[in-house]
Structure 1
């Protein structure tokens, strides 16, 4: 779905990504690479394919939009170095022509040297572009004249079907003062958001993005 925010065109993709055509920037939030490996190390039987599946989805988005830069709006890596991150390092080599930008989130705890080795440019606490300021959490910490776009809370919305069944979907939230991106990783929970009169919610369904 294409919308206009702050005078600019934005594309909301059903793969839980945001594309800014004017800036050729693809933005996602809460990738949480390494989360499944971290859980396996703790003895929980979590499939090893989760992180790989997310990277495959990201590859399809890169092929679709051909961005100059990929922005991860916090929580790129869930914990320390592990086998999932080794997979990412090999995957990253395919896209040496794309600038990788990371706005650090609460789970991003690798060393500066680790990020540099993977050719990831760090921004803390925010990355601002045009009328927007990407920040993982706490939109109040951005420049006042810019529109904050955050992540962190993994927003979701409940929709009641014709048979009164309740379905819950990830969503994009666009309020008067800030926006929130859905979590990109499929291995995350959802926090219900409830729109007010001057707010817009876009549910991410398996087929498309719909305003609710």
Structure 2
């Protein structure tokens, strides 16, 4: 789905990604690479294919949009080094010419040397481009005239059907003061968003993105 925000065209992809054509920037949030391995290490039975599937989805998006920049709006990694992050490191080698940008989130705790090894450009607390300012946690921006785009809360929306069935979907939220990107990783929960009348919610269904 294509929308307009603050004078720019934005593409909302059903794979939980935002594309800014004018800047050739692909943006996602809350990738959480390493989360499944972190849980397995703690004795929780989590499939080992979660990180692989997320990276495969990301590869398809890169092939689809051919961006110059990939921005992860926080929580790219989940705590320390583990086997999932080793797998990401090998995957990263396939995209040497793609500029990887990370706006650090609360789970991004690797060392500067680790990020350098993976050719990831770090920005903290925000990365601003055009009329937008990407920041992970909280709708605040160092540049007051810019529109903040955050992540962190894993936004979702509940839709009630004609038979009163309730379906919950991840979503994009575009409020009066800030926007929130959906969590990219499939291994995350959802926090319900309740918009005001003047705000926009775009639910991500299995088939497409729809405004609700």
TM-score normalised according to structure 2 size = 0.99
CA distance, structure 2, for counterparts of residue 139 and residue 194 of structure 1: 16
TM-fit CA distance, 1:197: 1.1
Residue of structure 2 in register with 1:189 after alignment = 189
Distance of 1:153 and 1:169 partners within structure 2: 14
Partner secondary structure for residue 33 of structure 1? coil
String of CA shifts for 1:59-92, please: whole Å, max 9, x gaps. Answer: 0000000000000000000110000000000000
Superposed, which structure 2 residues align to 1:172-183 within 5 Å? Answer: 172-183=172-183
What is the rounded CA distance, in whole Å, between the counterparts of 2:35 and 2:148 in structure 1? 27
Q: Find the counterpart in structure 1 of residue 66 from structure 2.
A: 66
Q: Give the match's secondary structure for 2:207.
A: coil
Residue pair 2:154, 2:182 contacting (<8 A) in 1 also: yes
- Whether the 8 Å CA contact 1:29–1:181 is kept in 2: the answer is yes
What does 1:85-164 align with in structure 2 at a 5 Å threshold?
85-164=85-164
Q: Give the Cα separation in 1 of the matches to 2:98 and 2:126.
A: 20
Secondary structure of the residue aligned to 1:139 is coil
Q: State the match for 1:47 in structure 2.
A: 47
Number of the residue aligned with 1:205: 205
CA distance in 2, matches of 1:102, 1:161: 38
Q: Is the 8 A contact 2:133 2:141 kept in 1?
A: no
**Considering only aligned residues, what root-mean-square deviation do their CA atoms show, in Å?**
0.6
* Deviations, residues 128-165 of structure 1 (Å, cap 9, x unaligned): 00000000012224310000000000000000112211
TM superposition shift of 1:15: 0.2
Query: Partners in 1 of 2:98 and 2:65 — Cα distance?
Result: 12
CA distance in 2, matches of 1:161, 1:141: 37
The superposition leaves residues 88-114 of structure 1 with CA deviations (integer Å, 9 ceiling, x where unpaired) of: 000000000100000000000000000
Equivalent-residue separation in structure 1 for 2:112 and 2:4 (angstroms): 36
Q: Deviations over 1:108-132 (max 9, x none)?
A: 0000000000000000000000000
Match of 2:30 in 1: 30
Spell out, residue by residue over 1:179-205, the C-alpha distance to the aligned partner (whole angstroms, 9 max, x if none): 000000000000000111110000000
SS of the residue 1:80 aligns to: coil
Q: Secondary structure at 1:140's aligned position in 2?
A: coil
The answer on whether the counterparts of 1:142 and 1:148 sit within 8 Å (CA) in structure 2 is: no
The DSSP-based 3-state class of the residue aligned with 2:116 is helix
Give unpaired runs (5+ residues) of structure 1. none
